Every structure is written in structure tokens, then in C-alpha cells.
Amino acid sequence: MKRFLLPLLVFASLVIFLAISLRLDPKEIPSPLIGKQVPAFQLTQLQEPEKMISSADMAGQVWLLNIWASWCVSCREEHPHLIDLFKLNVAPIVGLNYKDGRQDGIDWLRQFGNPYGVSAFDNNGRVGIDFGVYGVPETFVIDKLGVIRYKHIGPLTPEVINGKLLPLIKELNRG
């Protein structure tokens, strides 16, 4: 009986490790930007090219930055939830229109609705790189001091919004 004990233990630990790694998503890379100052940017607004939007404009309030594009399929999936979040009116949502055509972006918002107070037009993806964007959509929560507090990779779901974003925004707004 005893000679089975060691192989059994080895097998059990293997199962445990595999079970853990099954649950981890290799696509979710922890962002080094959390706890850091939001990367400064200044871009033209998507819908009004003659106007600018910069990170400094948002200082002093809790805000969300949502990276999206008209070519992004998951953005469409996330979009109704973003509209719901917008209607709650808890924090302004700034869009970062990432590597998109200006007209494509404008048409997309016209077709599906616009949850963004304003969208910054990041045509060449330069600002996206500063934010460490590698998959669209991504959402950042930024506090009143301009510090990134949370990053969600992939489409927002009601679970994420209700479970993570709303409590965090509430807490940050109180502080």
C-alpha cells in the first residue's frame, strides 16, 4: 500500500497545478500601469476634429477610459453594457478610438449609440501603446489624482460593472 503513496501524491499535485492553470487566462496580463499616473495624452476629438481632448482635462474627477474601435467585434458585445453604465451617470466615460478611421468611428457611434462624453481619436495607436493596449476593448478606472486604479481587459460584462467598477467608482468618489 505504501508504495502507491508517492505516485499518488505526485499525481495529486499535478492535478492541482493543472486545475489552477486551467483557470488562469494567459491573455490577461497584469498591467504595470496600475497605481501609476495616467499617461498624458492630447488628441483631437473624434466627432469634432478641431477640438482637442487631453488627460489633463479630466483631472479632479473619477473617470473611465474605454478603448474601442469600429472594427472591434467584442466592442459591439460590450456596447449595450457601456450604455447602461453611461445612463447610471456615475463617472464620465472617455473613449479612445483606437486605430480607426474617423468616419468609421463616427458612423459606429451613430449606429449603436454614444456612451462617451467625448472620444479621443488615436489614429496611429500611439496613445494606445502608452496605455499598454494590446487587445480592444480595454477599460481603465482613473481616480481624482489621475492615478490608474483598475484595468479591465476585454469586453465589460454586467458582472464586472456591478461587481468591480461600480463599487470602485463609489469608493473613489467618496475619497
Partner 1 sequence: MAKFNMNTLVLSLLLAVAPLLVNAEEAPRPAPDPILEKRVLAIAEELRCLVCQNQTIADSDAALAVDLRKQVREKLAQGMSDRDVTNFMVERYGDFVLYRPPVKTTTWLLWFGPFLLLAGGLIVLGITLKRRAHTEPTEALSETEKRRVATLLGTITETKEKT
Q: Identify which of residues 7 and 175 has a Cβ nearer to partner 1 in the complex.
A: 7
| Residues whose CB falls within 8 Å of the CB of residue 95, separated by 6 or more in sequence, listed in order | 46, 65, 66, 67, 68, 115, 116, 118, 119, 120
C-alpha 145/C-alpha 142 separation (Å) is 8
Q: Pick one of 125, 149, 166, 168: the residue that binds partner 1 (CB under 8 A).
A: 125
Candidates 12, 16, 29, 88; binder of partner 1 (CB under 8 A) is: 29
Which is closer to partner 1, CB of 126 or CB of 170?
126
Binding-site size for partner 1 (CB under 8 A) equals 17
25-55 exposure pattern, b = at least 16 Cβ within 10 A, e = fewer: eeeeeebebeeeebeebebbbbbeeeeebeb
**Residue 11 is a binding residue for partner 1 (CB under 8 A):** no
> Is residue 131 near partner 1 by the rule CB under 8 A?
yes
Minimum CB separation of residue 115 from partner 1 in Å reads 25
Measured from the CB atom, the residue of 98 and 108 that comes closer to partner 1 is: 98
Decide whether 59 or 129 has the Cβ nearer to partner 1: 129
Site for partner 1 in 70-99 (CB under 8 A): 99
Min separation Cβ 24 and partner 1, Å: 13
**Measured at the alpha carbon of residue 40, what is the angle toward residues 38 and 45, in degrees to the nearest 5?**
110
- Residue 134 CB, nearest distance to partner 1 (Å)? 4
Q: Least distance (Å) from partner 1 to the CB of residue 129? A: 6
112 three-class SS? helix
Q: Using CA atoms, how far apart are residues 137 and 140, in angstroms rounded to an integer?
A: 10
Q: How many angstroms separate the CA atoms of 96 and 116, rounded?
A: 9
Task: Summarize as ranges the residues that interact with partner 1 (CB under 8 A).
Answer: 26-27, 29-33, 99, 124-126, 129-132, 134-135
